[in-house]
Amino acid sequence: MTIKADVKKTKAPTPDNAGVLIPLTDETIEQRLGKLLNLMDQNGVTSLIIYADKEHGSNFEYLVGFIPRFEEALLVLNIDGTSTLILGNENFNKAQYSRIKAASKKCSLFSLPNQPMGGSDELEAILSEVKIDTNCLVGIAGWKLLPESNQQFDIPDFIVKALTSVVGREKLINATDLLISPKYGARITNNANEIAHYEYGASLASDAVLEAMDRLALGKSEIEIAEHLNKHGQYNSVVTICAFGARFVKGNLYPANHTLSKGDKVALTVGYRGGLSSRSGYAVESLSELEQVDKNYFAEVVVPYFNAYHFWLTNIKIGENGGDFYRKFAAYYPKEKFGWSLCPGHLTAEEEWLSSPFYEDSDATTQSGMILQVDFIPSQPNHHGVSAESTIALADGNLRQEMKQEYPELWKRIEKRKKYLSEELNIHLSEEVLPLTSTVGYYRPYLLSKECSLYISE
């Protein structure tokens, strides 16, 4: 592997979250509904039952506009466009705010323990009253793409049993793929409005991690630095990470009272709807200090990682077969040597990981409108890990023109980010690769040195 990465004094990127959330338009919701109805028609699904809870509400939110918070919910969508929301005690009053027109039913079984609740047959009775088109198949959408089976379901058993009783087991299939399949799912591509909407969260996470890195100082506690990660009261797509030294002590996942000492391992991660940013490394100020805590870490871990990061950014393109990209990336950055095991990058949206076109033998193709996380995680014996995860979008000429016209301020930010990458880090992106954060490609190898970052030295 040719070593291209090196360290130099650079200007830090400028925090650039606009502070204004771009709402999804009614036209976008209509487009979403149309995409999903077309997929249902193509796959012989005349009714789609979309499940939601707090952790797995994004497929539901895609059309409805909200999640059921601490309860469960179902959206019944028929091929003629009619729909019904089935909601628990404390979310039933939210039906009136649905982005798509929908009837509504209250199901107390979807509510919290010991609230007033009907009998075990309540859901079956409700489903019997709801319009469900059984002329062809009835799809169930959970949140997983279960391998090689459309007859397994990743939603609560009591819901599957009630549906089986009402429509018949022979009618039911797992249809989560209609929403999130990396080949054709309705949610895997975005229009200009959606990219502008999601850029808010991606850039917010980026700014937060940059601020947290700037505030790192010896003696500061995890809790103090974590205050800079959670922003604007926005919903986190993952558990926020701010960890110094050993992690997961006594099973703890969250920022605690540990204070930063010279040479500590550092991990910073925050994610919002639209993207996640992370940085990990060591609390040191120089290469000599880094060598003292993790000998050869810079040469054996950091430099190859950044080279692979550069390879990813400069080789990703629209129309690429996902399996081919996986093979190319694995040839450049061998998993046997560098220990990565997950997909080298994935799609993102409301949830941090939507699905991924990049896996072994994938026949998915990268498409204009995809929002992707630059995300691969090395794990090398006797070394700490490294991370500079961030968010980009792919956009063809038509989509780029729409973004320029409809969201000129966003387009200015994208152009500024590309200019920074080119002039400061010597990373040159193609026209169709759009950085959705100011810190794409920005990595400080010495986390206590705010002046130095990696760049491509060729």
Domains and CATH numbers, the chain: 5-22+187-456 (3.90.230.10), 44-174 (3.40.350.10)
Of the CA atoms within 13 Å of residue 49, those in its CB half-sphere come to 29
The pLDDT score that the predictor gives to residue 285 is 97
pLDDT at res. 203: 98
What span, in angstroms and rounded, lies between the C-alpha atoms of 454 and 407?
31
pLDDT on residue 212: 98
What is the spatial distance between Cα 194 and Cα 198, in angstroms, rounded to a whole number?
Answer: 6
Give pLDDT tens digits for 275-326: 999 999 999 999 999 999 999 999 999 999 999 999 999 999 999 999 999 9
pLDDT at 3 (0 to 100) = 64
pLDDT at position 239 over 90: yes
pLDDT-based confidence at 163, cuts 50/70/90? very high
Q: CA 47 to CA 203: how far, in whole Å?
A: 37
Which candidate, 12, 435, 366, 458, places its Cα nearest to that of 214?
12
**What is the tens place of the pLDDT at every residue in 376-405?**
999 999 999 999 999 999 999 999 999 999
Q: Which residues of 214-247 are buried (b: 16+ CB within 10 A; e: fewer)?
A: eebeeeebbebbbbbbebeebebbeebbbbbbee
The amino acid at 430: S
How confident is residue 2, by pLDDT bands cut at 50, 70 and 90? low
Distance between CA atoms of residues 47 and 243, nearest Å: 46
pLDDT at 149 over 80: no
Helix (H, G, I), strand (E, B) or coil at 133: coil
Torsion of CA 365, 368, 374, 378, to 10 degrees: 10
Q: What is the pLDDT of residues 423-450, one digit of tens each?
A: 999 999 999 999 999 999 999 999 999 9
